[in-house]
Structures are given as C-alpha cells and as structure tokens.
Amino acid sequence: MKKTLFALAALGAFAGAASAQSSVTLFGVVDVAGRYVKNGDVKQWQLANNGNSSSRFGVRGVEDLGGGLKAGFWLESAINPDSGTADSSKFWGRRSTVSLMGNFGEVRLGRDKTPTQLALESSDPFGATGIADISNLYVSAPGSTVVSKSRADNMVQYFLPSTLGGVYGTLAVAAGEGTTGAKYMGGRIGWKSGPVDVSFAYGRNEEVLGNEDLDLYVLAGTYDFGVAKLFASFQNAEIDNMKDRLLTVGTAVPFGAGEFRASYSKVDGKGGAIDDREADKFAIGYVHNLSKRTALYTTYAYIKNDGTGAYSVAGNGATSAQLRGEKSQGFDLGIRHSF
C-alpha cells in the first residue's frame, strides 16, 4: 500500500530539509467485488465491498519534535463503495487517535483497534476481511452488546518501543463514561524475530451481560518458511457460564506476482445461550498483484454449521433460522486499489 504524501510547510519548501522530517498523508482503499452467496437455500448475487482489504479514506501524519520525540495523528473512515455510504454513526470509526512517541515507546489516545483484535487479525492469512474473514466465526456475546470488542472508544494505549530485541507489547484501558459494555482493559505481548512472530493478547469488556464481564484470550503466531507462511491462532471468549473457542490455521504461498491463501477455522460454543453453537470454515483464495497498490483477487469460502451454529460467509437476506445447522458458501472476484 503505497501512500500519498504531500509536503508540509510553506509552498515552495517542498524539497526543504525541515519539511522532510514531517509529513501528512492522505490514504485510502477502494475494494469492490462481484460476489455470490448461498446461505442455506437462499442465493444472491451482490456487488460487495472489502473482499481483500477494508475500503477506507484517511489522513495521518507524523511531526518530528526533536530530541527523539514525535507527535502523530491518524484519522480513518470506513467506506462502502458499492453504495457510496460511510459510517454514518462513527465517521472516523476505523481510527481516530493522537500520539506522542519517543524512546519510551508510544502513548496513543482515542478510538482504535483493541489488542486482542490485532492479535487475531495477525493470524488470518485473509487479513480478517471478506468472505474468508476469521471474524465470520466470531461469537456475538449473548444478552448484551459488547461495544468494544474489535475497537474501543476512549482508549489510552501504551506501546513498547521497537528497541527491545523483537519483543513488542501494548497496554490499553478505555473509559466507560457510563455506557454499558464500553469499559475495557486489555493488552498484548509478542515476539518477532526472523521467521517467527508469536503473541498473546487479553481483553476484558466489563459488565456486558448484567454484572458479567467478557474475557477474551488470543494466542496467535506465524512462521515464514519463505516458500510458504503458516498462520495459527486460538481464541477463547468467556462470559458467565459460556465459553466460545475459535481455532484457526492457515497458509499463504507466494506465487510470482501473486499469492495463494488458505485457512481452516473451527468454532465451538459451550454453556448457556451459545451451547452447541458450532461451525467449521474452509477458505481458499488467490491475490494477483498488478502493482503494489492494485490487485485482482478471487476467494471461495465455505462454512458448515453444526448444532445451533448459524454463521455465514456474508449476509444475503437469509435469517438465522434459515442458516441454523446449514451450509453457507460464497465466491468473489474483485479489485482492490490503494492510494
């Protein structure tokens, strides 16, 4: 994803030394695909978004404050190019943060992805996007809305510096400000060295089900053999007497200008409202890079629901009742363009 940079400072100083240390970047992705989805017996052709990467529009920047200190901001807005909509309730909902960075690491304030979400995404060869998205098997916590599972408002985050010999980590707390399920704390610790990248993340959404908290644990890792990269993760979600376990393994195989991808996931719910909520997911795909910024792609994903499982590769109007215990399949062919 090559980005658009434009110079800071007075006009004419585009090549100046001072401005070279600071930058503001306008960036984005437009990703649209033709897609066919069959959920149980319900079939639909769609023009769909985000088969390969989430469509977005954003502005971000870094300012060098001298003495190793930097300030930065990041504003990122979701786009649905198939219908021209943005996120009408949270326009900058993908990310809206301001940061202070230095030898100590980074302090970041605002709305952002949670540590557990980042860990889970890192272990999905499909980048947690589209019909093969690992998140299609996410459990929805019963009884209440978890407002800060993948992203959280009002978050204060601390990131370790990148000078710790491959060790990386985050601590995050989010103020609830009186909104049920919004209070959050979490963290992630990982190690990246050569071909290895492993991390463990934990997150707690407080009082999402009456007085009960949702606890999320994610263990994720990748190993890059060069001819192929392997992905694996295990997520455990617990609330009250319910447990939801999600296991994923996958691979990405470079092939000339392109890449083959495949993944298998299994989700298994136990206890209470999610008891016997099970599914298996298989996905394969190919991404053909026309340039660093532009790619054509195709994906096939298949979910086999068991018990009370009613997961789908994508919505197509089918109800949960029509999906329960049934198969969901999808196929797409699309183009992703970054700017």
Please report, as residue ranges, which positions from 145 to 204 form the binding site for a second copy (by CB under 8 A).
151, 153-156, 174-175, 177-178
61 binds a second copy (CB under 8 A): yes
Q: Are strands 242-255 and 23-39 parallel, antiparallel or unpaired?
A: unpaired
Of 237, 289, 294, nearest in space to 267 by CA: 237
Q: Which of residues 110-129 bind a second copy (CB under 8 A)?
A: 110-111
Q: Binding residue for a second copy (CB under 8 A) from 168, 191, 286, 339?
A: 339
E strands present in 51-150: 56-66, 69-80, 85-86, 95-102, 105-113
1 binds a second copy (CB under 8 A): no
Q: Binding residue for a second copy (CB under 8 A) from 40, 51, 53, 92?
A: 92
The region of 70-78, 185-193, 264-272, 306-314 touching a second copy under the rule CB under 8 A is 70-78
Cβ 232 to a second copy shortest distance, Å: 31
Q: Are strands 4-6 and 23-39 parallel, antiparallel or unpaired?
A: antiparallel
86 binds a second copy (CB under 8 A): yes
The region of 59-67, 218-226, 253-261, 269-277 touching a second copy under the rule CB under 8 A is 59-67
User: Among residues 49 and 263, whose Cβ is nearest to a second copy?
Assistant: 49
Cβ 287 to a second copy shortest distance, Å: 15
Residue 55 burial (CB count, 10 A): 23
**Residue that is written with structure tokens 């984005």 in the block:** 28
Compute φ and ψ for 320, nearest 5 degrees: -60, -40
User: Among residues 239 and 314, whose Cβ is nearest to a second copy?
Assistant: 314
The region of 125-133, 186-194, 215-223, 331-339 touching a second copy under the rule CB under 8 A is 331-339
Cα–Cα distance list, 306 to 133, 140, 241, 316, 333 (Å): 19, 17, 21, 20, 28
Q: Which of residues 94-113 bind a second copy (CB under 8 A)?
A: 94-98, 100, 109-111
Cβ 299 to a second copy shortest distance, Å: 16
258 binds a second copy (CB under 8 A): no
Q: Which of residues 294-323 bind a second copy (CB under 8 A)?
A: 294, 316-317
- Return d(Cα 25, Cα 28) in angstroms, integer: 10
User: Among residues 6 and 321, whose Cβ is nearest to a second copy?
Assistant: 6
Q: Provide CB contacts within 8 A for 229, sequence distance 6+.
A: 125, 222, 223, 251, 252, 253
- Return d(Cα 111, Cα 120) in angstroms, integer: 18
